[in-house]
Structure 1
Amino acid sequence: MTPRTWPTRLGTAAYWIVAMAFLVGAVTKYLPGETFFGPPYSVKFADWGYPPWFRFVVGTLELICAALLVIPDRRTRFAGSAALVLLLTGAVTTHIVNQDALSRSLAAPVNLVIVAVIALVNWPADWRDLLRADKKSPRADSGRPVARI
């Protein structure tokens, strides 16, 4: 094994670990009874002010995003992590609005930071020029006029 394959394998393992965490979270949202996270999610969602069926929507989104994280393509990983950033922003907001205890709400902001880092790492290369407007940008060297808004 070459030394270059180890970082690649560790990165792949990290994506799988994050995806498995969201897979477990998605599966527990489908379970009717108590989970190892506490009361049933149908009760939790009702306590938070959401309809009980909304847990299926959140669970399905988590399941789809977990699948997107393990596909070895930057754009699919970016799409999955960006969708999770939006989903987890809603989760963090829900915990803040409902003033949940820190022990019950710590996982959401931690996971939000993790998937935000994954989204930034997998930001598509051709979109990186959108972040730069300096003279080192390949778009600035192309001779084409760049529309500025």
Structure 2
Amino acid sequence: MTVFSIILQSLLALMFLMAGLGKIAGSKMHVEGFKHWGLPQWFRIVTGIIEFVGAAALVVGYWESSWVALGALILGITGIGGIITHIRVKDSFQQTFMILLLAIIGIVLFAINASDLADFPGFK
């Protein structure tokens, strides 16, 4: 694993741990965001759990590298969903930028580590 990959992994894990826990805990920012997007609050919790699981996979990836690709894939797909949500309600680029950046990081991290998925437990 390269230093670049570890830096992206750490950044993505930290950002999505914070975002996921904020959604699960019901922080005002996330509750209002889901209202703004016309999404139900149960979906906020589900999204938070998915983000937390993806970030946790990245943390496990420090010890078992195949988990990095899985976590990055989960978070990259989640990021794409977030981008679509922002576009659907016509949010500004400024409002969409962070999830766009995180989705790109997730996709790049997945691309760097995709070959490690062959070593994922149960894939052999």
**Into which bin does the TM-score normalised by the smaller protein fall?**
0.7 to 0.9
Aligned to 1:142: none
Q: Which moved more, 1:105-114 or 1:14-23?
A: 14-23
In structure 2, the partner of 1:109 is 100
- Partners of 2:55 and 2:116 in 1: how far apart? 22
Q: Which residue of 1 aligns with 2:52?
A: 63
Gaps of 5+ in 2: 119-124
Unaligned runs of 5+ in 1: 1-6, 35-39, 128-149
Work out which of the two has the higher radius of gyration on C-alpha atoms and give 1 or 2.
Answer: 1
CA separation of 1:10/1:112 partners in 2, compared to 1, >3 Å: closer, same or farther? closer
Tell me if 1:81 matches 2:39. Answer: no
Distance 1:66 1:33, change over 3 A: closer
**What TM-score, normalized by structure 2, do the two folds share?**
0.80
Partner of 2:35: 46
TM-score of the aligned structures, taking structure 1 as reference length:
0.68
**How many angstroms apart in 2 are the aligned matches of 1:126 and 1:58?**
23
- Which structure shows the bigger proportion of residues in helix conformation? 2
Q: What letter corresponds to residue 10 of structure 2 in structure 1?
A: W
Q: Quick one: which amino acid aligns to residue 74 of structure 1?
A: S
Q: Percent of counterpart pairs with the same letter?
A: 25
Off by >6 Å, runs of 4+ in structure 1: none
**Contact 2:34 2:41 (8 Å CA) reproduced:** yes
Separation in structure 1 between the aligned mates of residue 3 and residue 15 of structure 2, nearest angstrom: 18
1:99 to 90, 102, 105: 90
> Does 1:119 pair with 2:110?
yes
Total equivalences in the alignment: 116
Across the aligned residues of Structure 1 and Structure 2, the Cα RMSD in angstroms comes to 2.2
Contact conserved, 1:43 with 1:52, CA < 8 A, in 2? Answer: no
Q: How far has the Cα of 1:12 moved from its partner?
A: 3.0
Aligned mates of 2:23, 2:57 — CA distance in 1:
19
Shift in Å at residue 14 of structure 1? 3.8
Paired residue type of 1:112: A
